[in-house]
Amino acid sequence: MTQKPMTKTQLVAALAEATGSDKATANNYIGALTDIITKEVANGGAVTLPGLGKFACRARPERMVRNPATGEQFLKPADRVAKVTIAKALKDVINA
């Protein structure tokens, strides 16, 4: 049984209700939080949100990859990817 994911509009409304503020302020908070996490992770840092998880940037070395449509192999250059590690507290709530 899967549910539709919460939209940004629903998240803003829930945050505004939980904090007792208006939706515009809640939207600004979400935007600011997103910007801060994005800048920190893009610069190679990490951000931990207690109870939720850790956002970090991980470097991947160059490697051989295969195009599944043609079977052609080629060398993919090194790159960086975002990684999210879920906190134990959240895992415990989900599996309770």
Please determine, for residue 12, whether its predicted confidence score (pLDDT) is greater than 70: yes
Its sign, for the CA torsion 67, 72, 73, 79, is: negative
Residue 57's DSSP bridge partners are 82
Q: What is the set of domains in the chain, with CATH numbers? A: 1-43 (no CATH), 46-96 (4.10.520.10)
- What is the mean predicted confidence (pLDDT) over 7-22? 95
Residue 96: pLDDT band by 50, 70, 90 thresholds?
confident
Write out pLDDT tens, residues 76-94: 999 999 999 999 999 999 9
pTM given for the model: 0.79
Burial (0-12, 13-18, 19+ Cβ within 10 Å), 71: exposed
Write out pLDDT tens, residues 21-76: 999 999 999 999 999 999 999 999 999 999 999 999 999 999 999 999 999 999 99
